[in-house]
Amino acid sequence: MPCPPEGYYPMDEFDPLFGAALDTLAVRAGQTRSHEGEHSEALYLTSSYVFANAREAADRFSGSQPGNVYSRYTNPTVRTFEERIAALEGAETAVATSSGMAAILCTCIALLKAGDHIVCSRSVFGTTTVLFTKYLQKFGVSTTFVNPTDYSAWEAAFTPATRLVFVETPSNPLCDVVDIARLADISHAHSALLVVDNCFCTPALQKPLALGADLVVHSATKYIDGQGRCLGGVVAGPRQYVDEVLGFIRSAGPSMSPFNAWVFLKGLETLRLRMEAHSRNAMSLAQWLAAHPQVEKVFYAGLPDHLGHALAARQQSAFGGVLSFRVNGGREEAWKVIDATRIMSLTANLGDAKTTIVHPATTTHGRLSPEQKADAGITENLIRIAVGLEDINDLKADLARGLGDYRV
């Protein structure tokens, strides 16, 4: 896979990673060895840094000399993570945050002001909806939610105050696929910035910046960690915008822990291998479910009858690890399938080696009103699975138990 298409990193042709492919950058980008010569990235578990003398302290504080001052501002392990993400996304720079939600919040606070307007896909992570409607609203930033695959709805939602467009693709849980290049053109025609939450694909499968997006945000908690250990987030894009976000983080405090950054660095080393394995397992499970008599419908962009199939095939290098499906029946039948599993974990997290299963209507999307749920297609018989790395036949057998119980 060629990477990064817009190649900001490394910028210097004398850098040994100049022009390197994604797999190489995922393993090596951003590392600088200390005098100890450690092979694995060093974990700088320190909150502050010592200065050689009072002059150096004064110069570091004033910013006239570059260097570390305090880990809310900079930390070498966190910086390695930021540089590696920037390299993978083909971004000029990146800044890490304490969680995915902090990445979204900090982007909005840094780039918006009272009176501004957001146009957002209605199929975004539930907490993003809560953040925009309940909290940003309090500070005079309003949001209009649109059906993400209806481009005339996107067009119609812009007002002269629209500054930011926010989208997740593929979406959670129905795997709606949005044309990033097309949405970037629409956003730019209205002088708005397009922010893409690239959590579900990661840069291993999709490069929003190369498609025209202005900023990428991530919950590193998911596939970047890949084993469900740490919370974190990151914002990647041009220095012009990311520096604004960085400025806010330094003042407000949602910085990434160096320990978490170190875990994410280890996760990134296997990112593409994992994403391909997740995608392979998800495809197999989607096909099996689609042929099952007790399954009403499967939502996975890898299936040829999914509305977003052709677009996803063009825009992504694989279809990802998340799928959802409707069982015949309602809540009772869906809960029965979930409760009959013995391998899958009943948890809302995703992007883990362990497969997770959840009932969106009563958990991740439980805070939506009945109308919002109906609008977003979150029915009572819907189940979401974030397919992990276990053997696919064991996963099928785990679901067959619950589906078989009421087979006619």
Contacting range for ligand PLP; rule: CB under 6 A; set: 43-51, 218-226, 238-246, 297-305: 218-226
Q: For residue 10, list its beta bridge partners.
A: none
Residue 198 Cβ, how far from ligand PLP at the closest point, in Å?
A: 9
Q: Is residue 30 a contact residue for ligand PLP (CB under 6 A)?
A: no
Residue pair 225/270 in contact (Cβ under 8 Å)? The answer is no
Q: Is residue 279 a contact residue for ligand PLP (CB under 6 A)?
A: no
Q: Which of 163, 222, 274, 326 binds ligand PLP (CB under 6 A)?
A: 222
Residue 336 Cβ, how far from ligand PLP at the closest point, in Å?
A: 26
Residue 222 Cβ, how far from ligand PLP at the closest point, in Å?
A: 6
Gap between the Cα atoms of 294 and 292, Å rounded: 6
Residue 172 Cβ, how far from ligand PLP at the closest point, in Å?
A: 6
Structural tokens at position 279? 């995608």
Q: Is residue 100 a contact residue for ligand PLP (CB under 6 A)?
A: yes
Q: Which of 8, 9, 125, 319 binds ligand PLP (CB under 6 A)?
A: 125
Residue pair 81/30 in contact (Cβ under 8 Å)? The answer is yes
C-beta closer to ligand PLP: residue 21 or 130: 130
C-beta closer to ligand PLP: residue 4 or 233: 233
Q: Which of 41, 168, 214, 352 binds ligand PLP (CB under 6 A)?
A: 168
Gap between the Cα atoms of 224 and 265, Å rounded: 8
Q: Is residue 219 a contact residue for ligand PLP (CB under 6 A)?
A: yes
Residue pair 245/237 in contact (Cβ under 8 Å)? The answer is no
Beta strands at 356-358 and 382-386: parallel, antiparallel or unpaired: antiparallel
Which residues within the stretch 185-214 sit at the binding site for ligand PLP (CB under 6 A)?
Answer: 197, 199
Gap between the Cα atoms of 183 and 323, Å rounded: 24
Contacts of residue 167, Cβ cutoff 8 Å, sequence gap at least 6:
120, 121, 124, 148, 178, 180, 183, 194, 195, 196, 197
Kindly determine how many residues on this chain lie close enough to bind ligand PLP according to the rule CB under 6 A: 13
C-beta closer to ligand PLP: residue 101 or 210: 101
User: Per-residue DSSP letters for 122-181?
Assistant: SSS-HHHHHIIIIIGGGGT-EEEEE-TT-HHHHHHH--TTEEEEEEESS-TTT-----HH
Q: Is residue 272 a contact residue for ligand PLP (CB under 6 A)?
A: no
Residue 129 Cβ, how far from ligand PLP at the closest point, in Å?
A: 11
Q: Tokens 């930033």 identify what position?
A: 141
Q: Which of 221, 281, 294, 356 binds ligand PLP (CB under 6 A)?
A: 221
Q: Which of 90, 233, 320, 377 binds ligand PLP (CB under 6 A)?
A: 233
C-beta closer to ligand PLP: residue 20 or 275: 275
Q: Is residue 283 a contact residue for ligand PLP (CB under 6 A)?
A: no
Residue pair 84/29 in contact (Cβ under 8 Å)? The answer is yes
**List of long-range contacts for 335-341, beta carbons under 8 Å, 24+ apart:** 335/359, 336/402, 336/405, 336/406, 337/383, 337/399, 337/402, 337/403, 338/383, 338/402, 339/402, 340/401, 340/402, 340/405, 341/398, 341/399, 341/401, 341/402
Q: Which of 153, 231, 290, 340 binds ligand PLP (CB under 6 A)?
A: 231
- x/- binding map, residues 80-99, to ligand PLP, per CB under 6 A? -------------------x
Residues that bind ligand PLP (CB under 6 A): 99-101, 125, 168, 172, 197, 199, 219, 221-222, 231, 233
